[in-house]
Structure 1
Amino acid sequence: MTMNRFDNGDVLVVPLSHFRRSDLALAGGKGANLGELSQAGFEVPPGYVITTAAYDLLLQKNNLQARLTEAIGSFDPDRQDAAAKVSQQIQSLLHEISIPEQIIDEILKAYRQLDEGAVAVRSSATAEDLPEAAFAGQQETFLNIVDERALLDAVRACWASLWSERAILYRARQNVEQNTVKLAVVVQKMVPAEIAGVMFTANPVSGARDELLIDANPGLGEAVVSGMVTPDHFTVDKRSRRVKEQRLGRREVTIRSKAGGGTEQVTLIQGAADTGTLPLQAIHKLSQLGIDIERHYGSPQDIEWAWVKDETKTGRFFILQARPMTALPEPLPPVSGPMRMIIPVLAEMWQTRPYPLDTTTFTGTVERAIGNFLVTMIGRSAPNPDEMLLEEDGVVVQFTPPQLHPSPSMLVMPWIAMWRTRHYDPARWEADPLLAELIVQARALERHDLRSFTWTQNIETLHESLAWIPRVMELRERYFPQALLGLGGLSLLLALARRRDRFGVLTSGIKTKTTETNQALEELATQIRTDPVLRDLFQRVEARDLGAELKASQDGQAFLKRFERFLDQYGHRETALTISQPAWKDQPDNVLAILKVLAETELRKIQHEEAWQRTRDELLANTILGTRLLRKRFLKSLNNARAFFQIREDTHFYVTLVQPTIRRVSLELGGRLKQADALDKAEEVFHLRLDELQTFGRQWPPSSEVVTQIRELVARRKARRESLANKPMIDPRLLSVTSGAQAGEDVLLTGTSGSPGMARGPAKIVNDVSEFGKLRPGDVLVAPVTNPAWTPLFQRAAAVVVDAGGAASHAAIVAREYGIPAVMGTMNGTKELKDGQWIRVDGSHGLVLKDEEMK
């Protein structure tokens, strides 16, 4: 339907039911869609549209178009106050001018035909309710308008709202030409809604197309649309129209029509939120309406509705708006049970988006080594690690869950692995000659004089270091099968003895390289705390200046020698499983920041070593596990299960021994490319792949063509990486499927249990290693991710809350060692919580709750 259908195009006011969705230019997005729905037979409140022709006539009769164009031309979206100034200028003009009599007559004539009752006056812009941009809430709506003067004022305010500051900025972000937009105004009979709300015909969070979401609140729908209330929430299966989930809201206020015009907010009566707003039959009817509207438009819809009770059980529904759902994510691929357990661990590994050199050196090699281990355990059914990271031009765009490929080998391979490794005792894995050999090789690689090496020799050092990594994983291949068998055996035996709750205690108090590292740090902190000179220095000097200050005094120099020995032994601890991020020894200031925190208070006593032994002895004395038949089996399973956690932690410790070496080689090559004017700084080498580095160094110095090629490649990848800065590499929905915790009124965050217990304290947001110094004893550590390098902070934290990770994460394991509660995989704890906010951490149930500061 086009404008020439309406009286030669000179149409100022047209009944709503005359429009179709194609009439966007005349009726605006809201008007066109409501007309479409009305013509399709859906119940839409009767009304009319004050068209964009009326808006054009308003500007023409007042000679405003040129002045608007001039004001818009002065708008600079990069200036902070530009939108506010343009908005004030244009809105002042629109409020000052007179409305032509021709427009007033047409508006009032149509109003009288609606019996002059209460109406809703709603903006309908030509850039609105579009498939790619909703423009939701950018222009004004006025409810319960009851007389002609108020109606004309509301229409003028709608026209002016086209030029509100937020509307101007939204159009600028959506790249909509400001000069092209116009505004129509929809006027409809007011619906005396008893309940109203919003319905999405697809799940806007998960992207699931087979779910329909309904939010409902008593009174007018403005309370729901504006976010003023926590409404009742229903998730409906579209196939069966069955309510899959129902959460009653708090319904803090109700918005209702006021006698004499306008609306008022009414506070909820105590106890009124104890039952659902909509009857079940009404939910079924509304769901079917949503399905029918989606089918009519051929795409998922965002629908506003109102419900009026009548003599039927289902009541009467009015459709107030329907528009395409924007920013709807693609549905998640199916995620298998095992992969749900693995994804939080992967999220912990990839704290930052890997660079091309990460994925083609250390990070990629570790992934493939883990993949090869899985092949030895379950055969070719194992997921392919090369399928996990989707790349574009070498830049990692996103993580895709690799799929298991079920086959008969899955049933056979684990037993073959158990049989093949039956002679490898997990409790004696550290005595394996392979481990000693690997440590010697790693230390030898570390001593290479990279500056004296040729380009080719440095590349060879990289390949030697990378070939070393799978050999460490051989230790897992040898000892994990029996350790896993012990883990399963322990779980079954505890279930048999009805003591499943003892599993956590029995697998605590395990000595690992992580706890050894933290103990070494604690010894350094004790030296600082007990030495007056060092104590004073660490208390008054900022962490970034500690290195220089320590060098300036004799006591400081003596301490630095001991500190350097610590870094030599433990400094390869990684801050991320990538070479683009420095290890401890690459940025020792970060370790000094940890020591500054640890030195403030003494370490609390941890009794886990005695606790697990007491629990073991109690089980042997008081349950069937102490019987002749089960005693030996129980003790062996316990030893092997405990060994599992040690092997997992310590092989991770050893596999990172070569990480600083690989980083040093990469930066050495980057430095040479910088000298050749191919890079602006050595760190840009991480934007290159290993195979490209090998090629670029064949001729030295590189030709001008190669230099140009490198610069173009790095610039292109850097720009692509920057464009992904706000896009999480791992879809947060993949993390949410792992959480089984339930929300409640006092619940701020839900996640998975990492370490049991309850603790309270002020939240302290620590985003990365540079902020370690923020944490104070008794704070709740809130972090985006953690790894072993973070765990020394656990010795002072009251509890730990992490955006990523799961129960098998390094952070969770160490939290259990220190006996502090941990909630993993909250997804957005670092964004939802604020520094200093008092919270209660329920590690047993994976919950973070509101709390009040201790007085």
Structure 2
Amino acid sequence: MDIGVEERGSVLVLPLAAIEDGQRDLVGGKAAGLAALIALGERVPDGFCVTTEAHRSGEVPRAEVLAAYDRIGGGPVAVRSSATAEDLPYASFAGQQDTRLGVTGADALIDAVRGCWDSLHSERAIAYREANGIAHDSARMAVVVQPMVDAEVAGVLFTANPLTGSRAESVVDAAPGLGTAVVDGTVDADHYVLGGEGIEERGCLTPARLRELREVGERVAAGLGAPQDVEWAYDRDGALWLLQSRPITTLFPAPPPSDGPGPRIYVEFGHVQGMLQPATPMGMSTLKSMLAGMFAAFGLTVEVVDIGGRLYGDLTDAMRDPSTRQRLVKMMAVDFGPRAQRVVEHLLDDPRFAPRKNAGRRGAAALKSGPKAAVGILGALARPAVARARVFGEIERLRQQPVTDPDSAAELLELVEEDAESGMRSDAIIWPVVSGLVVSAALPPLLKGVASEDEIRTVLGGMPYNVTIEMDLALWQVARRAEPYREMLLDTPPQELASAHRAGELPEFGLEAFLEQYGTRSAAEVDVGVPRWSENPAPVFAMLANCLRVTDPDQAPDLRFRRAAHKAEEMLAELTRRARRKHALRGRLAAFFLRRSRELAGLREAGKFAGLYPLRDRRRRLLLIGAELRAKGLVERAEDVMFLTLPELRGVVQDGDDRRETIALRRSEYERELHRRTVPVALLSDGTDVETLLPAPQSDGRTLLGMGAASGRITGRARVVRDPASATVEPGEILVAPTTDPGWTPLFLTAGALVTETGAVMAHGPTVAREYGIPAVICVPGATRHIRTGQLITVDGAAGTVTFE
């Protein structure tokens, strides 16, 4: 075979069949995919690749290209771009770069190759790379040339359902003639969803061909190790040709295989903590340990699994257990939010999750609390001041607890492993926190017919004893002291300010004391693999700048908080009067619970905050281990240890195992998952996103529907934020985010309202929004996609709506 080679030995033209694994940088994504299909033994049109080395040289290697063209028989060919930044797991580049069909003759072929090269720098390709965070200078273009298939019928095969995520279904779109009409959407294609049922006779494909396509798809997906998007064509002789295969980039990873019977249902836990980004592998192991300890404290047994770097709980046994399935709906509403609640309600009618005798007494045990819980909760209700004192005393003890770090990595690792086994199970914190959640959850049924949900949410506003609110107000005071340095703090990028702070080059205005108290915090702070504010205070400087933009004294966060607290106390008194007028005994009980909610519900944030101190020590020790391993040449960076599990780290420390390839792969997967904009709230074991099976909510076209979580109504400009680290929220702007955790809440100091795509009424973001007295609407599907920064919108926290003005 002819292979074009420059004098320096670079390959300029390469037959598709000669492409080997690991040559993606040379041939690009499309050519690599075709070569993989050939290696699997699939029928692929013969062809060749004009490599990235030719593109780097700047001139189309005419002689080598035409020699390869002659080898495949000349005639009409398809000329397709095959960029290195193409057909990636998180970015397909579908249609972003050139494809030219029916190209015939030498000059036309050379022009087509040059056109594909030029398309690398088209406006749409540049915009697509920027949207996916792909550096322009990292992209190189190869070009694939193949004989045209004289197609009788052609189209696209998805080996998993791209809309629902189900790996048990394949989807085919087909039309007579060339498949480009299907890909470009210029024809009304026949659409087939292939599941376990029989295939009906209709459209341009026979049942036999649909079965063949599904079999080929299953074979290709298994061979390539992931669900695929396959372009195909049947020629006039009835032969099936595969023209392209790439990963389905939109699919969320499927759950791991389970030994349990039948389909399983997994509910995502991270959104309750305001965390949708993936956890590092070390962070995942820590989170599993923490959750196991938390569930054990309640007598719960829930299998927690890692799906796409997120925490999901297997609730199948509880769904199938006759004694617990109905109570799950209420538990979802209180603890996981309306999205999870709707999913569970939907699946209660699914025969696959019908009640079964002895279906899992595990589920029954999971929803019962023991005598310890009763004693702890009743004790907090009886003496709330004592309970609060115990909580904050324990937090202070954890903060000041003296710790020593051994000198060797092996000894440090022993301490880390001991921490992983023990977790934090302090009754001094758990039961007062739970008691606050219990009284808050009891208010709606207790006040039914007496108060609206919005009025109850008002009582929960301006809540005292909340460590996150105290943190935000402390930051506000730092901003007041920083007024003399306003220009510097507003005009200097946060990362530069962070570097200057670490170098001791900034004036003192109270930041050091703030970081001493709250430096354990960050966005996604439950992941031990994430840097804390004490390590990188850039997010704090960004939030300080937001505070300094508040120039209206009436909008000062401390005043807003006091107004919310005053309004809450007035509403409490009003609801107490109403309840007593309606029924004396019930009125006294309502008054007790309303008052206890003000005295205990603010502790909602205390449990997580306390847990950050053990995480602080664990992270420090892991980084010390990483530093020693780096000095020995076993890892590239100290932070690399966060991409190992504890047993793997033990192997590196004790035996010198080389895990650098594993670390690089996991870091790449982590970076890929960081690009993911949406995370399913619930998955079936075949990968189905359960929310895609629910009826679409009705809308008037200008209103987005969600769930009201903090009362009030405001109209303002939207500010869409996906990363709080350097976000600017001007005073009065409406913060629109995928989710929020305590690391986001300083942005609330200037925000006029909050809109999120996930959450629960008692989750961190809505809790803090209520306490600042700003409206909040949560669980608005696709809010960050539908709303653009600068748009004028109205947020109605009572109605649970976001309306475009």
| TM-score, structure 1 normalization | 0.60
- Letter paired with 1:685: V
How many angstroms apart in 2 are the aligned matches of 1:359 and 1:401?
13
2:617 aligns with 661
1:703 aligns with none
2:225 aligns with none
1:204 aligns with 162
- Letter paired with 1:795: L
How many angstroms apart in 2 are the aligned matches of 1:168 and 1:762?
35
CA contact (8 A) 1:383 1:404 kept: no
1:528 aligns with 2:482: yes
Q: 1:759 to 1:546 in 2, by over 3 A?
A: same
Question: How far off its partner does 1:726 sit?
Answer: 1.5
Report 1:132-147 matches (<5 A).
139=99
CA contact (8 A) 1:201 1:290 kept: no
2:279 aligns with 353
Please state whether the residue corresponding to 1:781 is helix, strand or coil. Answer: strand
Question: How far off its partner does 1:373 sit?
Answer: 3.1
CA contact (8 A) 2:733 2:752 kept: yes
Report 1:298-697 matches (<5 A).
298-299=214-215, 327=247, 340=267, 342=269, 344-345=271-272, 348-349=274-275, 351-356=277-282, 358-360=283-285, 362-374=286-298, 376=299, 378=300, 382-385=301-304, 388-389=305-306, 401-406=313-318, 407-408=360-361, 410-411=363-364, 414=368, 416=370, 419-421=374-376, 423-426=378-381, 428=383, 431-432=386-387, 435=391, 438-439=394-395, 441-445=397-401, 447-448=402-403, 450=405, 458-459=412-413, 462=416, 469-472=423-426, 474-475=427-428, 477-479=430-432, 482-497=435-450, 499-511=452-464, 512-529=466-483, 533-546=484-497, 557-559=507-509, 562-575=510-523, 576-602=525-551, 603=556, 605-606=560-561, 607-622=563-578, 626-641=582-597, 645-691=601-647
CA contact (8 A) 1:483 1:644 kept: yes
How many angstroms apart in 2 are the aligned matches of 1:500 and 1:440?
35
Identity %: 21
**Equivalent position to 1:165, from 92, 116, 120:** 116
Q: 1:833 to 1:639 in 2, by over 3 A?
A: same
Question: How far off its partner does 1:469 sit?
Answer: 4.2
1:184 aligns with 148
Residues 439-471 of structure 1: CA distance to partner in whole angstroms, max 9, x if unpaired? 3542344x43547x5656645654676577423
How many angstroms apart in 1 are the aligned matches of 2:381 and 2:665?
48
2:52 aligns with 76
**Equivalent position to 1:790, from 744, 752, 773:** 744
2:340 aligns with none
CA contact (8 A) 2:160 2:171 kept: yes
How many angstroms apart in 2 are the aligned matches of 1:543 and 1:177?
40
CA contact (8 A) 2:539 2:724 kept: no
Please state whether the residue corresponding to 2:534 is helix, strand or coil. Answer: helix
Report 1:242-253 matches (<5 A).
none
1:721 aligns with 2:667: yes
How many angstroms apart in 2 are the aligned matches of 1:402 and 1:294?
35
1:252 aligns with none
- Letter paired with 1:510: M
Question: How far off its partner does 1:515 sit?
Answer: 0.6
Question: How far off its partner does 1:659 sit?
Answer: 2.5
How many angstroms apart in 2 are the aligned matches of 1:420 and 1:462?
32
Q: 1:825 to 1:355 in 2, by over 3 A?
A: farther
How many angstroms apart in 1 are the aligned matches of 2:202 and 2:469?
58
Question: How far off its partner does 1:160 sit?
Answer: 8.3
Question: How far off its partner does 1:596 sit?
Answer: 2.2
Q: 1:694 to 1:843 in 2, by over 3 A?
A: same
1:148 aligns with none
Question: How far off its partner does 1:822 sit?
Answer: 4.3
Name which structure has the greater RCO, CA cutoff 8 Å, separation 6+.
2
Please state whether the residue corresponding to 1:638 is helix, strand or coil. Answer: helix
Question: How far off its partner does 1:416 sit?
Answer: 4.2
Question: How far off its partner does 1:580 sit?
Answer: 2.3
- Letter paired with 1:812: P
How many angstroms apart in 2 are the aligned matches of 1:289 and 1:303?
16
CA contact (8 A) 2:77 2:104 kept: no
Please state whether the residue corresponding to 1:389 is helix, strand or coil. Answer: strand
How many angstroms apart in 1 are the aligned matches of 2:62 and 2:782?
37
Please state whether the residue corresponding to 2:479 is helix, strand or coil. Answer: helix
Please state whether the residue corresponding to 1:208 is helix, strand or coil. Answer: coil
CA contact (8 A) 1:212 1:287 kept: no
Question: How far off its partner does 1:720 sit?
Answer: 3.6
Q: 1:625 to 1:401 in 2, by over 3 A?
A: farther
Question: How far off its partner does 1:810 sit?
Answer: 1.4
Question: How far off its partner does 1:546 sit?
Answer: 4.1
How many angstroms apart in 2 are the aligned matches of 1:679 and 1:717?
9
Report 1:223-234 matches (<5 A).
225-226=183-184
Q: 1:323 to 1:837 in 2, by over 3 A?
A: farther
| TM-score, structure 2 normalization | 0.63
Question: How far off its partner does 1:656 sit?
Answer: 0.9
Please state whether the residue corresponding to 2:293 is helix, strand or coil. Answer: helix
Q: 1:841 to 1:153 in 2, by over 3 A?
A: farther
Please state whether the residue corresponding to 2:774 is helix, strand or coil. Answer: coil
1:44 aligns with none
How many angstroms apart in 2 are the aligned matches of 1:212 and 1:325?
14
How many angstroms apart in 2 are the aligned matches of 1:197 and 1:819?
54
- Letter paired with 1:294: L
Extract unaligned runs of 5+ from structure 2: 1-33, 35-43, 126-137, 218-228, 232-239, 257-261, 319-359, 683-688
How many angstroms apart in 2 are the aligned matches of 1:837 and 1:93?
56
CA contact (8 A) 1:383 1:405 kept: no
How many angstroms apart in 2 are the aligned matches of 1:634 and 1:383?
33
How many angstroms apart in 2 are the aligned matches of 1:232 and 1:504?
50
How many angstroms apart in 1 are the aligned matches of 2:302 and 2:519?
33
Report 1:843-854 matches (<5 A).
none
Larger mean Cα displacement after TM superposition, 781-790 or 831-840: 831-840
CA contact (8 A) 1:123 1:159 kept: no
Question: How far off its partner does 1:793 sit?
Answer: 0.9
CA contact (8 A) 2:116 2:143 kept: no
Q: 1:775 to 1:324 in 2, by over 3 A?
A: same
For these two proteins, the number of residue pairs brought into alignment is: 654
Residues 651-710 of structure 1: CA distance to partner in whole angstroms, max 9, x if unpaired? 111111232222222223333333444444433333444456667667xxxxxxx5xx34
How many angstroms apart in 2 are the aligned matches of 1:202 and 1:552?
53
Alignment RMSD (CA, Å): 6.0
Question: How far off its partner does 1:354 sit?
Answer: 1.3
- Letter paired with 2:679: P
Please state whether the residue corresponding to 2:640 is helix, strand or coil. Answer: helix
